[in-house]
Amino acid sequence: MIYLILYQAIGILAIYMIFRIGTNLWFHLKVKRNCNINTKSGIKVQSNGEKRIANWLYDRNIQFIYDKPLYGVLLGGYRPDFRIKRSRGKDIIIEYWGRMDLKKYRIKRRKKKKFYMKKGFILISIEPHQKVEKILWDSFKMFYYRNNNS
């Protein structure tokens, strides 16, 4: 009897994992299809705001990872717009919040911000009405250059 229950539980878990992996993979492909704006570094991004960020980082020779899930495509999880990995200290996450007009997006933003803080990332948040270059410059003076990339 216990084996039957265990067998059923494993079956349900397997179905859930197949669904989850398929959903995450579909979302990943959908996002990549929407990346059609060229940047100086050669990568394609989804918006002009992201283009400004990518070009700003490129002009300062700051290496970044664009729109890659923190824990792999199949596992899902959050996909920061930009991640700057550092050999010492906390990684820097840059999020361009371009769809604040959508309620679902605002809810996801709250969850992402909470997650990043909990995991110890340095988060730089930018909205369309803000001056992208000024926020980046001020933030990088504080978190990146001051500590000599530590």
* Nearest partner of 133 among 46, 8, 49, 32, judged by Cα: 49
Q: Is the dihedral of CA 74, 115, 47, 65 positive or negative?
A: negative
Measured in whole angstroms, how far is the alpha carbon of residue 28 from the centre of its chain?
A: 12
Digit-coded pLDDT (tens) for 41-75: 999 998 999 999 999 999 999 999 998 888 754 44
pLDDT confidence of residue 10: 67
Q: Which long-range contacts (CB under 8 A, 24 or more apart) does 60-69 make?
A: 60/140, 62/140, 62/144, 64/94, 67/31, 67/32, 67/35, 69/24, 69/28
- 96 backbone dihedrals φ, ψ, rounded to 5°: -100, 110
Which residues have a Cβ under 8 Å from the Cβ of 36 and sit 6 or more positions away?
Answer: 44, 46
pLDDT confidence of residue 62: 93
pLDDT confidence of residue 36: 79
Q: What CA–CA distance (Å, rounded) separates 49 from 56?
A: 11
Burial 70-83 (b: 16+ CB within 10 A, else e): beeeeebebbbbbb
Map out the domains of the chain as residue ranges. 34-145
Q: Which superfamily is assigned to 34-145 in CATH?
A: VSR Endonuclease (3.40.960.10)
Digit-coded pLDDT (tens) for 71-128: 754 445 788 999 998 877 789 999 999 888 889 889 989 999 998 998 889 999 999 9
Conformation bin of residue 120: beta by default, left when phi > 0, alpha when psi is -120 to 50 = left
Digit-coded pLDDT (tens) for 121-131: 999 999 999 99
Q: What CA–CA distance (Å, rounded) separates 129 from 49?
A: 10
For residue 147, give the DSSP letter: T
Which residues have a Cβ under 8 Å from the Cβ of 22 and sit 6 or more positions away?
Answer: none
